[in-house]
């Protein structure tokens, strides 16, 4: 029966592919159909992500999920190999450096205590050590820094493609069509309807639509606090390059920058209305970001803005953390969304956890129940201090 499935996943990004991979790897033998409206992933958040991965969070759940994902990404190239061909993902482990002033240092020291207890390998640096590490930085206003040496960035498009290839090899079916709405009868999810009008049935439907997930959920009257939020990224070339490679560096202004080959990638999230907006603004870089960069280092004074791009956060506007959950009022309806700026790095853990929840009815590897959708109604929010 072509239109009957055991599990339907709506959205074919990294959350979906990681989930399909884990379900099939961990023994699920049913039929999994994944619906993706954008076959080239042109507007999907995953390939537009910066691919940063770190363990330096402040909440136990985010730290544990990031640790799981970090170990997974370390062995990813081999684990995702197909017919002996490795899945290359270009993991650059150049660290995360958080530059801190008098106001932010005490908070980070507090966070480090939590991190240390959970085995995160972060180091506190006084200003003179920052200067030894990156001599071109102006540290006059800084009280110190935290350095996470295990962190870095990975090519998100390669990770997505590797997961998709592997999930397909294990038996997941990809259907490149747009889902118009979810279908339900009473309190049971029953399937989806495509824009073409065609229906597909399944007793389990997973909403993994990222920035589009809130809108899809409204088609069965269920509100998810997730909206599309535009984030811009810029690629610059400097007249005077830094001597050493820049780690993923977070400035107290909120700007972050890192080396990418001979170029520098810069990002900063300004206040913009929610919406499906993909344009990037040269003027925003020139007027808002550039002056602040130039204050941090004279090397930023002369530069060429080569290109930029914008992508959407699957922004959880209540507590900015992922929602990994069944739904208490709709049997068979599962959700993996709302990861805001840290979905890429948590995707391996999300796939593993949701696979367990669907197959076994409970989390086994990491207890992710703190991220259930019910936390909003119960007001048990996950208050993460280290999100950007």
Of positions 37, 173, 199, 241, contacts ligand FAD by CB under 6 A: 37
**Closer of 42 and 83 to ligand FAD (Cβ):** 42
**Closer of 48 and 375 to ligand FAD (Cβ):** 48
Q: Name every residue whose Cβ is closer than 8 Å to that of residue 44 and which is 6 or more positions away in sequence.
A: 12, 13, 38, 160, 210
Residues 166-205 interacting with ligand FAD (rule: CB under 6 A):
178-179
When asked if residue 11 is in the footprint of ligand FAD (CB under 6 A), the reply is: yes
Residues 49-68 interacting with ligand FAD (rule: CB under 6 A):
49-52
Q: Name every residue whose Cβ is closer than 8 Å to that of residue 318 and which is 6 or more positions away in sequence.
A: 225, 376, 381
Q: Buried (b) or exposed (e) across 65-76, using 16+ Cβ within 10 A? A: bbbbbbebbeeb
Largest CA distance in the chain: 68
- At its nearest, how many Å lie between ligand FAD and the CB of residue 105? 23
When asked if residue 98 is in the footprint of ligand FAD (CB under 6 A), the reply is: no
- At its nearest, how many Å lie between ligand FAD and the CB of residue 328? 22
> What would the two tokens of residue 219 be?
């088609």
Binding mask 301-320 for ligand FAD (x = CB under 6 A): ----------xxxx------
When asked if residue 341 is in the footprint of ligand FAD (CB under 6 A), the reply is: yes
Pairwise CA distance, residues 98 & 27, whole Å: 41
> 3-state DSSP: the chain helix, strand, coil percent, rounded to 5?
30, 30, 40
Taking CB under 6 A as the binding criterion, the range among 79-87, 211-219, 293-301, 372-380 that sits at the site for ligand FAD is: 211-219
When asked if residue 349 is in the footprint of ligand FAD (CB under 6 A), the reply is: no
Side-chain-side CA neighbours of 73 within 13 Å: the count stands at: 32
CA 67: distance to chain centroid? 14
**Closer of 139 and 368 to ligand FAD (Cβ):** 368
Nearest to 66 by CA among 354, 372, 346: 346
Residues 227-286 interacting with ligand FAD (rule: CB under 6 A):
231, 233
- At its nearest, how many Å lie between ligand FAD and the CB of residue 14? 4
**Closer of 139 and 347 to ligand FAD (Cβ):** 347
Taking CB under 6 A as the binding criterion, the range among 29-37, 102-110, 112-120, 371-379 that sits at the site for ligand FAD is: 29-37
Nearest to 136 by CA among 42, 39, 243, 57: 243
Residue whose pair of structure tokens reads 């055991």 in the numeric block: 6
Q: Which residues bind ligand FAD (CB under 6 A)?
A: 10-16, 35-38, 41, 44-46, 48-52, 178-179, 208-212, 216, 231, 233, 311-314, 337, 339, 341-345
């Amino acid at each position: 029966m072509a239109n009957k499935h055991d599990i339907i996943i709506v959205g074919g990004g990294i959350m979906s592919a990681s989930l399909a991979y884990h379900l099939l790897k961990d023994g699920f033998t049913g039929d999994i159909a994944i619906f993706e409206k954008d076959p080239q992933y042109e507007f999907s958040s995953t390939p537009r992500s910066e691919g940063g991965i770190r363990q330096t969070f402040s909440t136990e759940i985010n730290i544990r999920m990031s640790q799981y994902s970090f170990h997974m990404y370390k062995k990813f190239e081999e684990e995702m190999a197909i017919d002996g061909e490795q899945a290359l993902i270009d993991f650059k482990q150049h660290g995360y450096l958080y530059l801190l002033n008098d106001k932010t240092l005490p908070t980070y020291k507090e966070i480090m205590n939590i991190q240390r207890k959970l085995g995160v390998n972060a180091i506190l640096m006084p200003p003179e050590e920052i200067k030894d590490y990156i001599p071109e930085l102006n540290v006059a206003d800084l009280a110190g820094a935290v350095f996470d040496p295990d962190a870095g960035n990975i090519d998100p498009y390669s990770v997505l493609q590797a997961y998709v290839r592997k999930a397909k090899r294990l038996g997941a079916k990809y259907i490149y069509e747009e889902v118009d709405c979810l279908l339900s009868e009473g309190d049971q999810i029953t399937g989806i309807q495509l824009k073409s009008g065609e229906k597909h049935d399944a007793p389990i439907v997973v909403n993994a639509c990222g920035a589009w997930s809130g809108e899809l959920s409204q088609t069965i009257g269920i509100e998810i606090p997730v909206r599309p939020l535009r984030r811009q990224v810029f690629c610059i070339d400097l007249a005077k390059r830094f001597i050493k490679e820049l780690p993923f560096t977070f400035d107290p202004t909120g700007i972050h920058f890192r080396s990418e080959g001979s170029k520098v990638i810069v990002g900063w999230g300004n206040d913009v209305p929610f919406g499906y907006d993909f344009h990037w603004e040269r003027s925003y870089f020139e007027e808002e970001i550039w002056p602040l960069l130039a204050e941090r280092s004279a090397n930023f004074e002369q530069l060429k803005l080569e290109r930029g791009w914008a992508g959407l956060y699957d922004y959880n506007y209540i507590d900015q953390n992922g929602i990994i959950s069944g739904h208490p009022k709709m049997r068979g309806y599962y959700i993996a969304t709302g990861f805001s700026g840290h979905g890429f790095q948590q995707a391996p853990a999300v796939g593993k956890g949701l696979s367990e929840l669907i197959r076994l009815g409970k989390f086994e590897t990491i207890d992710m129940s703190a991220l259930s959708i019910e936390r909003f109604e119960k007001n048990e929010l996950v208050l993460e201090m280290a999100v950007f």
